[in-house]
Amino acid sequence: MNFEKLPPVESSKVLLDIAFRKAREKERQKKLKGTWLQIIKKKESLKLDLIKDDIINKLEKILSQFPQTAILPEFYIKLMRLTLDFAELKKSLGAVNWASKRIRTLHREYISKINRAQEQPYLRKASTEFYGRFASTLKQIDQNLKYLEESRKIMRTYPDIKDMFTVCIYGFPNVGKTTLLNELTTTKAKTAAYAFTTVSINAGYFTADGTTVQVLDLPGTLARPEKMNQVELQAELALEVLAKAVIFVFDLSGSSGYSFEKQKQLFKKVKEKKIPVDVYVSKTDLPGGMPGKDFPYKNLTFEELKEELKKKVKI
């Protein structure tokens, strides 16, 4: 699912300002006919219609474009619980739904009052009451709108993950994970000769015997969960929830800035998750990059790695 397209959530003040401005502009453009009372009724009804429609459309857009938790894959549900106040998110969406229904009810009530009015003061009073109660309704959910906007900004960082057989490439930054991803798949993810090029989870795909395999390039860390950034938290969750197999990438050349001992610690951490792990040594063309006889793990060549992945897909 692609969360980058979630629209901004405006504050109640911005929503009200836009709605009233649009209503004034369109009312001035509309040429109405009839007696003075009929014209006033039509003008007031038109403004109420325009304001109601503008706000309802925006509130319903929020409700329709925010993800429906009932149909989200497990990964995204856990990710939302990890990175957001999940209860507050549901409460805020519920508040938006309440406001939408409330505005519809107010609109029907005051359109009826305007239609029954026989005097101008009563018409003005009904319109003024509607605007006040309408604005009050939106202001009541202002904190909910603000929380939805905060949530949207976090959710925009979520990776576009599909529900399919998934292989995770894991290791420290700058050890060659993204290069391996690009070689295994048709992806052209950014690489560079410095750490932390991967600022999100990169995804690529290849086909093994008719089955599409999702390959994720995950940033690795030894940090405790409370010290991880958003991307690291997402990576750990992807490893635990999605990974059917892991390719652990070692860099023995030292160019990544991480010692072999540090990389072994991270490898041990991955092995504890009881997921099948294959080892791939990158940067073997650099001085010191080739594993020696004392390398404690079975190192697969690129071709052997592809064959191992095909076998795992069949299981």
- Which amino acid, 97? N
- Sorted by where each starts, the structural domains of the chain and their CATH numbers stand as 12-155 (1.20.120.1190), 166-314 (3.40.50.300)
Please report how many Cα atoms fall inside a 13 Å half-sphere around the Cα of residue 191, on the Cβ side: 14
Per-residue model confidence (pLDDT) at position 191:
38
Per-residue model confidence (pLDDT) at position 197:
40
Q: Which of 51, 57, 73, 54 is nearest to 3 (CA)?
A: 73
Per-residue model confidence (pLDDT) at position 134:
95
* pTM of the complete model: 0.78
Residues contacting residue 249 through CB under 8 Å, at least 6 positions apart: 169, 170, 171, 175, 176, 177, 180, 280, 281, 282
Per-residue model confidence (pLDDT) at position 24:
83
Looking up tokens 């938006």, which residue turns up? 96
Q: Are 22 and 50 in contact (CB under 8 A)?
A: yes
Phi-psi region of 283 (alpha: psi -120 to 50; beta: other; left: phi over 0): left
What are residue 135's phi and psi, to 5 degrees?
Answer: -65, -40
Residues contacting residue 288 through CB under 8 Å, at least 6 positions apart: 252, 253, 254
6-48 confidence digits (pLDDT tens)? 889 999 999 999 999 988 887 666 666 767 667 778 888 888 9
Per-residue model confidence (pLDDT) at position 195:
37
Q: Please list the residues that pair with 164 across neighbouring strands.
A: none
First-to-last alpha carbon distance for the chain, in angstroms, is 27
Per-residue model confidence (pLDDT) at position 70:
81
Low-confidence ranges of the chain (pLDDT < 70): 27-32, 34, 36-37, 187-200, 223-226, 315
Length of the chain: 315
Q: Which of 137, 135, 146 is nearest to 88 (CA)?
A: 146
Q: Locate 107 and state its tokens.
A: 């609109």
CA distance 193 to 174: 7
